[in-house]
Amino acid sequence: MPLMSLWSSNPEAVAELTIEQIVSAAGDGNLKDRSVCAAELREYFSRVSGAMLGTYVKQCLSGPFSNSGLVLQDLINEVGRRLGYSVINGLYRGRRDAIGFDGIWVAPEGHYLVVEVKTTDVYRISLDTIAAYRRDLLNRARILAPSSILIVVGRGDTGELEAQVRGSRHSWDVRLISAEALLDLAGIERIADPDVGQKIRSLLVPWDYIKLDEIVDMMFTTVDADPPSGQSSEHRNSNGGHVQANEKPWRLTRSVVLQRHRTRVISAVVDPDGPGLVDRRSAV
């Protein structure tokens, strides 16, 4: 039974399948460009929850299988759509007569992202090649200025790639993000709010981090978003007490999330050629 028919008739059963089994159930199971398998798989991804997308991303990275890198490419492009971009899927496999981008994301604000998806940064990436994709797309008017490059890496340890970008002539045109962090952005409540969505998308664009007003503005815009409609006017906080509608319910933030934000802030404000900071104690 084709994947979408199975999904329509028994979504609970499909939800129990692994991503490898999902691919096998799509079309003839042969994932290639312009195939029925690819079309069904992308349609399925467009219908599932963000949590399921995250589960499939983890499965692609933790237990690689045949074509898992191609599936990850489709998953990341779907995450881009959840972030409010208009997305053009790239080719699975390069051809001589085609430009080898993984995705083109067009923001409502008019900025174009040429997206490259990598499962790991173990192997050195040719930034010149990716920059050539962007240049060719501009020359053929497939993208317009302003534009930049976004590299999405499956695993969060991107130290080698960060150093490669920082030391290259493309450092002002390229930004990196892990698949996990991208999913975190897509999971922020009320992403459909134009103000919140615009602030989140601005994080993926190269810009000057010397002045931090934009970061602070983004943080407060996101945190202060109104609760979803229909939510009760009274909440219960972590200690069991009641919080009225005009108060903000609080919750502890996971330490790993705090540390990730601290690392990003330090990277933004510290001059790589200047004196470093000494980590004397944990933040409280």
- Residue 83: pLDDT band by 50, 70, 90 thresholds? very high
Domain of 95 in residue numbering reads as 49-224+255-269
pLDDT at 239 over 50: no
Residue 177 lies in a domain: yes
Residue 78 lies in a domain: yes
What is the enclosing helix (H) or strand (E) of 88? strand 86-89
> What is the pTM for the complete model shown?
0.76
Residue 162 lies in a domain: yes
Mean pLDDT score across all residues of the chain: 81
Question: How is residue 200 written in tokens?
Answer: 């989140």
More confident residue, 32 or 197: 32
Between the alpha carbon of residue 82 and those of residues 47, 53, 197, the distances in Å are 11, 11, 10
pLDDT (0 to 100) of residue 195:
77
Residue 43 lies in a domain: no
Residue 4 lies in a domain: no
Q: How far apart are CA 35 and CA 26, in angstroms?
A: 10
- Secondary structure letter of residue 48 according to DSSP: S
pLDDT (0 to 100) of residue 229:
43
Question: How is residue 17 written in tokens?
Answer: 């399948």
Q: How far apart are CA 243 and CA 280, in angstroms?
A: 37
Residue 34 lies in a domain: no
Residue 5 lies in a domain: no
Total domains, the chain: 1
Given a contact cutoff of 8 angstroms between Cβ atoms, the answer to whether 175 and 151 are in contact is yes
Q: What is the CATH number of the domain that holds 121?
A: 3.40.91
Find out whether the peptide bond into 249 is cis, omega within 30 degrees of 0: no
Given a contact cutoff of 8 angstroms between Cβ atoms, the answer to whether 269 and 163 are in contact is no
pLDDT at 204 over 60: yes
Find out whether the peptide bond into 146 is cis, omega within 30 degrees of 0: yes
From the list 184, 219, 173, the residue with the least C-alpha distance to 199 is 219
Residue 176 lies in a domain: yes
